Amino acid sequence: MKILVTGAAGFIGSGVARELANRGHNIVAADMFLDRLYSNEPKFVNWEQLSDVAHIEKVVVDLRGDLDALPDDYDVIVNAAAMPGLMTSWSEFDTYMTCNIKLVENLISHRVSEKTHFLQFSTSSVYGTTATGDEKSECLPTSPYGVTKLAAEELIGAYHRTHGLQHTILRLFSVFGPGQRPDMAYHKLIKAISAGEEFVVFGDGLQSRTNTFVDDCVGIISTIAESRATNEVFNISGSESVTLNDAIAAIEREVGKTALLKHAPARKGDQRTTSGATEKVRAAFEFAPATSFGEGIRKQIEWQLAT
């Protein structure tokens, strides 16, 4: 198949582009290298590594604007491009709106044909403060980021109902592992603990996540993209619930240093509990995360301290 992967220089998008190419598909990898949340340096590394993979054509293009630089006629579009981050979305709303909504509309309007299947990366943030139910749970986002990602889902639904757009929506839960973005909590924790720097804990540290190891995430996304699962929503999540305090203790043990912690009030809009219900994706694709939190965080620490 011919597959467009957007956000292909990013943490998850680069892995999906590589995995699908290794499975024999012809990949157009696109990224616009937006650097509003963190430096582009990690993206440049990911982008360069894609040059060594057969069946990948790379294109740098602002996906919110003119898409003439992109080839057309895709079997599948995997849209990993987005502006992530809950807290920044309160002050950078225009960027989130254009990257998370306008970009989706632009891709659908200009690069989707009758045969194209559109696979959208969404997030557990659409559920709100507590994300513990299945895909039919009510969506009550508590941040502009979550609102824009839910709006993208609704936009895709409108195109489906009106124009017959074939699509799949994947709600990802807290992806971690080697290559994790530098703005994410575990990356910041590992950096702070290993360097003896202060780390701010917002709230009581009992906020919990079912983290998804990146290789497990990339594998199931690639399988679902190949399947072209029609008009479905799937939670993609690990199975172990880990509090922030648990994660701090695990990283301390692996690094061999004690964290220097500063406590601050909980941030408005932050999620309290995520525990992805994955019965649906397990039944459809036999998805079973292979990497435990302990093994995954050890691999992330090894990668991060080596870079």
Contact 53, 88 (CB under 8 A): no
Quote the CA–CA distance of 204 and 200 in Å, as a whole number.
Answer: 11
The count of structural domains within the chain is 1
pLDDT for 213 beyond 90: yes
The DSSP 8-state label assigned to residue 177 in this structure reads S
pLDDT for 177 beyond 90: yes
Q: For 139, phi and psi rounded to 5 degrees?
A: -100, 120
Domain-embedded: residue 257: no
Q: Tokens 């709230």 sit at which residue?
A: 203
Q: How many CB atoms lie within 10 A of CB 302?
A: 12
Domain holding 46, by residue range, is 2-173+213-236
Q: Is the dihedral of CA 114, 116, 117, 121 positive or negative?
A: negative
Domain-embedded: residue 259: no
Contact 83, 92 (CB under 8 A): yes
Q: What average pLDDT score do residues 263-282 get?
A: 95
Distance set, CA 72 to CA 7, 41, 76, 111, 228 (Å):
17, 29, 11, 6, 18
Supply 35's token pair.
Answer: 């650097």
Residues 6+ apart with CB under 8 A from 110: 67
Using left for φ > 0, alpha for ψ between -120 and 50, and beta otherwise, residue 42 falls in alpha
pLDDT for 35 beyond 90: no
Quote the CA–CA distance of 273 and 173 in Å, as a whole number.
Answer: 11
Q: What is the pLDDT of residue 198?
A: 97
Quote the CA–CA distance of 247 and 212 in Å, as a whole number.
Answer: 14
Domain-embedded: residue 204: no
Per-residue pLDDT tens over the stretch 48-107: 999 999 999 999 999 999 999 999 999 999 999 999 999 999 999 999 999 999 999 999
Domain-embedded: residue 11: yes
Domain-embedded: residue 282: no
Per-residue pLDDT tens over the stretch 214-223: 999 999 999 9
Domain-embedded: residue 271: no
Domain-embedded: residue 287: no
What are 54-59's contacts with CB under 8 Å, separation 24+? 54/21, 55/21, 55/24, 55/25, 55/26, 55/27, 56/17, 56/18, 56/21, 56/27, 56/28, 56/29, 57/26, 57/27, 57/28, 57/29, 58/8, 58/29, 58/30, 59/28, 59/29, 59/30
Residue type, 230: T
Closest CA to 195 of 275, 251, 121: 251
Q: Which residues are catalytic?
A: 145
Q: What is the pLDDT of residue 36?
A: 84
Supply 154's token pair.
Answer: 């609704």
Contact 165, 231 (CB under 8 A): no
Burial class (CB in 10 A: 0-12, 13-18, 19+), 41: exposed
Domain CATH for 27:
3.40.50.720
Q: What is the pLDDT of residue 222?
A: 98
Quote the CA–CA distance of 104 and 47 in Å, as a whole number.
Answer: 22
Per-residue pLDDT tens over the stretch 225-235: 999 988 999 99
